[in-house]
Structure 1
């Protein structure tokens, strides 16, 4: 990552960075995976589930010092240059919502019928992409399939997207986010660092989240996946593995 930023002459331009949280973690030197302190702004403890809906404020980080609080190396960019990724926060909320649905209920059954190409196990894990989320948001049949608690949480989720995480910020956005947290709590949804950003760092978001989005990068990833699938068909499984192996060797030399 350091070589990439150097090639882009980042130190000269010092752009704002908006990407998924894996990229954010890399450029800030944070440890990857399910860590105890994944937030780069404060010491939110991901393991204390019983406090996540109770405690609003957490101790602020005093810098990103390697060897402390899941920091592996010195940051490559200044933390204030990081923009929280609206799309991935939306998908994170969607994931938490789907995981909390009654797996024997009509809502989850509708999800399975609506997204037949997604395995039941992936649906249970709440794995969706942007287009699938948008389709569900427009489908009134999904709303009708949810039980009252699920529907209340779902409507709050859509309200946060329309009134905060998109091109419009409602004057009452703080209340909208608070209602989302309350409904997700009632639903029994577990929290995540993406929900934590909404709950404890609202003031860090830009005035218009729609001005800054990582959706272009997400589309690029999707296009690459399509290209990979086509190559696999053309080359066959053995040919594809050989190509991946040769590419890995070439990249290690470079």
Structure 2
């Protein structure tokens, strides 16, 4: 997702080896769609699309998943030794991860530097950490640290019968599933002392930092969660590293720059693509747009939003 004031540009990879770029002008009665069906997720192709969007004329703030960050900054793909674009954090020096907090900073960012294969398409100062993907990454590390023989892990298998055992063991969960577990009091009762401490601190960080509300003591909450993850035996991924070493780089309101809406658009579009196998055109997008056009002025929602929104008359 690329944002500037009220303008939002959604950048979403589709499920059928094509890339959809959905542009929504919040303050205009206009929906623009750029659909390159033959382009792949490669550095040169991403550069072409960014030029078509006129990014360098506006220099929007960008919030996307870390895979797309690698494309935009020209980083090497896959499990690399230095994946962080802010410092020289060694992802393979696991014995230092929970001990060394400060790492040498990346002074320059250009092709030829460690794990940088292309010149950046955008400035790294315009990249913000994706709160949704960090939340999913934290959940992944928590579940992977659970003992498969414990009752807490068995409860996950029982709660999500549609998920395969391998997916649960790998910690692959989405946002709604995480919210289901947060509301599930039985899940906490099945945990041991260390699991419970790590989980409750993780929930506190979700509710008081990785959203629209940033608590005054967020640094203490994040530190408590990281200590719980360390005691549980969690590995430090790049997303955990962002919280451990670059907490001061997070924006003031993570909910305002969240890529959660883009992920929701991705999931909805996957459902439409299944109905239009082998066909991507204006009719498919019209079907999707009619599906989201609703008139519910008296709709009551369970989750309260603290974000001020502007709703144009479309």
Q: TM-score, normalised by structure 2?
A: 0.73
Q: How far apart, in 2, do the equivalents of 1:226 and 1:50 lie?
A: 43
Q: How far apart, in 1, do the equivalents of 2:82 and 2:177 lie?
A: 30
For residue 30 of structure 1, report the CA deviation from its aligned partner.
Answer: 0.7
Larger relative strand fraction: 2
Q: Structure 1, residues 192-239: CA drift from partner, whole Å, max 9, x if none? A: 0000000110111001111110011111221132234445xxxxxxxx
CA contact (8 A) 1:18 1:214 kept: yes
Task: Tell me the C-alpha RMSD between the 2 structures.
Answer: 1.5
For residue 149 of structure 1, report the CA deviation from its aligned partner.
Answer: 0.8
Q: How far apart, in 1, do the equivalents of 2:207 and 2:174 lie?
A: 18
CA contact (8 A) 1:87 1:214 kept: yes
Matched, 1:147 2:192: yes
Aligned to 2:258: 213
Aligned to 1:4: 49
Aligned to 1:131: 176
Q: Secondary structure at the match of 1:83?
A: coil
Q: Secondary structure at the match of 2:147?
A: coil
* 1:1-254 → structure 2 map (5 Å cutoff): 1-231=46-276, 243=278
**Structure 2 gap ranges (5+):** 1-45, 282-314
Q: How far apart, in 1, do the equivalents of 2:125 and 2:225 lie?
A: 26
Q: How far apart, in 1, do the equivalents of 2:255 and 2:261 lie?
A: 12
The number of aligned residues is 236
Larger relative helix fraction: 1
Query: Which one scores higher on RCO, CA 8 angstroms, separation ≥ 6?
Result: 1
Q: Structure 1, residues 88-145: CA drift from partner, whole Å, max 9, x if none? A: 0000000000000110111111101111111001111000111111111111111111
219-228 or 12-21, which moves further after superposition? Answer: 219-228
Structure 1 residue runs of 4 or more that deviate by more than 4 Å after TM superposition: none
Q: How far apart, in 1, do the equivalents of 2:189 and 2:198 lie?
A: 13
